[in-house]
């Protein structure tokens, strides 16, 4: 077993160059999307398009774009998956900051987020070596675990439907969401199962080629929507299926990671221009662009803008958004930070990523890179706990977490959304179970005659 903590891909050849080129293409697509979002005045009063600032926005993106080389030379890991999404979020903020209408120290904020990005990515990408397994789940129990998760999920859905069950379309979702009133324990169970345990079960079934059981997982995930009325619940099964299909077609987990972000945003951008050219219907085209491009690319970046503005003039939280800390330290806020943001800005309930909450809100702009480094080390722990598992399994079981962590604090992601529990399951998973599953395929491969590489 390799006991080195930091691991890199050997050399820099065509595979690494291909990854870098794909990532650069994604940067271009995201930048054009952000331009479209800016010129249509998507966030009035917060972001305002000014043509004289366009060159500065482009320069910010170009200056930070070489960071994609880190993704070309790094091995795939949980941190690679999460880190790429956060990297695009930072790029989005570097674009939006040049059109900011809010009053705070923009130059300090720009320096802080760049340093925070490097501080987070360094451990997240390059600390990947395995930890010794002190506890290993028996292979038979591990094989049965996904089925147990299915049964427990069905029970939670049944209980949840007794408290709330309403099937509405996206246009009415926010209207009826206020009616959702689940007991706290049931609400946490829904989040943990839908965001972590069911994706874990889905990954188990896909890797072991139990396709019908994998389909049942997706159905159960969809059934959480009329209970919770969230976009995540509605689109999560589609997203996991999308990841599984891409992973099947390209096989390389790093390419799958980049394509998982690149393709949906590219489709949204194409639809935007088709709508503008009166070639595609207005409503479905703009709904897709708003749901995918604005939500995935702009909103997590916009959270940094809002949090920087608010906490430049209000007390810092000093991590008191973590409920357990409120028991031992004084907190200047008597309500959740998302509620504070909803009251202060016309953007609804505005949760945000670790860069905004554990960083800007908790310790301020100067110390935010230190906080980002600490968060990166926690993600790196996930890398080490999952080391030795098949990349496709890690990718699918963590498939929803980039979307989760872009929009909630890391502490919330670890506890409320089940990331910490997923870390534990990765750690105790028997590696031998995956080796036996891969053995038949390897035997078939070795039996085939060798073919020329060209």
Give the rounded percent of residues in the chain with a pLDDT score beyond 70. Answer: 93
Q: Which of 246, 225, 260, 248 is nearest to 400 (CA)?
A: 260
Strand partners of residue 100: 47
pLDDT the model gives residue 232: 87
* pTM given for the model: 0.91
Instruction: Give residue-wise pLDDT tens across range 115-168.
Output: 999 999 999 999 999 999 999 999 999 999 999 999 999 999 999 999 888 887
The pLDDT, as a whole number, for residue 230 is: 85
Task: Say what the pLDDT of residue 438 is.
Answer: 54
pLDDT of residue 187: 92
CB 330 within 8 A of CB 139: no
Please tell me the predicted confidence (pLDDT) of residue 12: 65
- 310 neighbors 344 (Cβ within 8 angstroms): yes
Ranges of each domain in the chain: 14-130+257-414, 139-247
* pLDDT tens sequence across 62-89: 999 999 999 999 999 999 999 999 999 9
Of 210, 207, 188, give the one whose Cα is nearest residue 197.
Answer: 188
**Which pLDDT tens digit goes with each residue over 171-210?**
777 777 777 788 989 999 999 999 999 999 999 999 999 9
Q: In the block, which residue shows the tokens 């479905």?
A: 284
Take residue 445 and report the two structure tokens written for it.
């491969």
Q: pLDDT tens digits for 232-290?
A: 888 999 999 999 999 999 989 999 999 999 999 999 999 999 999 988 888 888 889 99
For position 426, what pLDDT does the model report? 98
In angstroms, how far apart are the furthest CA atoms of the chain? 70
Average pLDDT, the chain: 90
Q: Does position 224 have pLDDT exceeding 80, yes or no?
A: yes
What's residue 452's pLDDT? 35
Give the mean pLDDT of 48-68.
96
pLDDT(441) > 50: no
Residue pLDDT, tens place only, 303-322: 999 999 999 999 999 998 88
> Which residue bears the tokens 């028997």?
430
User: What pLDDT, on the 0 to 100 scale, is given for residue 437?
Assistant: 57
Encode pLDDT of 371-399 as tens digits.
Answer: 999 999 999 999 999 999 999 999 999 99
The reported pLDDT for the residue numbered 177 is 73
Q: Is the pLDDT at 451 greater than 90, yes or no?
A: no
Confidence band of 92 (pLDDT split at 50, 70, 90):
very high
Look at residue 330 in the predicted model and tell me its pLDDT.
80
Rounded CA separation 256/91 (Å)? 20
User: What is the pLDDT at residue 316?
Assistant: 95
Report helix, strand or coil for 55.
helix
């Amino acid at each position: 077993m390799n006991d080195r903590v930091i691991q890199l891909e050997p050399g820099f050849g065509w595979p690494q160059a291909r990854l870098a080129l794909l990532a650069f293409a994604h940067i271009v697509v995201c930048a054009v999307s952000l331009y479209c979002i800016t010129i249509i005045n998507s966030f009035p009063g917060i972001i305002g398009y000014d043509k004289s600032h366009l060159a500065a926005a482009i320069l910010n993106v170009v200056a930070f774009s070489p960071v994609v080389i880190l993704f070309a030379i790094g091995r795939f890991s949980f941190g690679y998956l999460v880190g790429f999404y956060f990297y695009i979020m930072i790029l989005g903020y570097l674009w939006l900051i040049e059109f900011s209408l809010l009053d705070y120290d923009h130059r300090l904020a720009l320096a802080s987020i760049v340093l925070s990005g490097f501080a987070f990515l360094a451990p997240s990408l390059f600390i990947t070596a395995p930890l010794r397994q002190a506890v290993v789940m028996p292979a038979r129990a591990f094989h049965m675990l996904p089925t147990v998760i299915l049964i427990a999920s069905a029970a939670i859905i049944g209980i949840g439907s007794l408290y709330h069950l309403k099937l509405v379309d996206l246009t009415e979702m926010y209207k009826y969401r206020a009616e959702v009133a689940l007991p706290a324990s049931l609400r946490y169970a829904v989040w943990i199962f839908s965001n972590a345990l069911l994706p874990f079960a889905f990954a188990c079934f896909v890797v072991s080629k139990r396709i019908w059981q994998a389909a049942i997982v997706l159905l159960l995930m969809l059934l959480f929507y009329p209970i919770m009325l969230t976009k995540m619940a509605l689109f999560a099964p589609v997203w996991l299926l999308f990841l599984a299909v891409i992973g099947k077609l390209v096989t390389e987990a790093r390419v799958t990671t980049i394509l998982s972000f690149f393709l949906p945003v590219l489709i949204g951008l194409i639809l935007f221009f088709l709508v503008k050219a009166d070639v595609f219907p207005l409503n479905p085209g703009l709904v897709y662009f708003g749901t995918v491009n604005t939500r995935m690319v702009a909103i997590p970046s916009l959270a940094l803008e809002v949090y920087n503005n608010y906490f430049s003039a209000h007390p810092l939280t000093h991590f008191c958004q973590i409920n357990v800390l409120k028991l031992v330290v004084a907190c200047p806020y008597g309500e959740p930070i998302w509620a504070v943001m909803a009251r202060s800005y016309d953007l609804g309930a505005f949760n945000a990523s670790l860069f905004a909450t554990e960083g800007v809100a908790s310790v301020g702009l100067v110390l935010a890179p230190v906080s980002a480094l600490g968060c990166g080390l926690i993600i790196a722990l996930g890398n080490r706990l999952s080391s030795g598992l098949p990349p496709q399994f890690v990718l699918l079981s963590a498939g929803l977490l980039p979307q989760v962590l872009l929009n909630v604090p890391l502490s919330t992601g670890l506890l409320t959304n089940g990331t910490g529990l997923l870390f534990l399951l990765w750690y105790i998973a028997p590696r031998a179970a995956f080796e036996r599953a891969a053995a038949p395929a390897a035997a078939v491969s070795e039996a085939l005659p060798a073919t020329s590489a060209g």
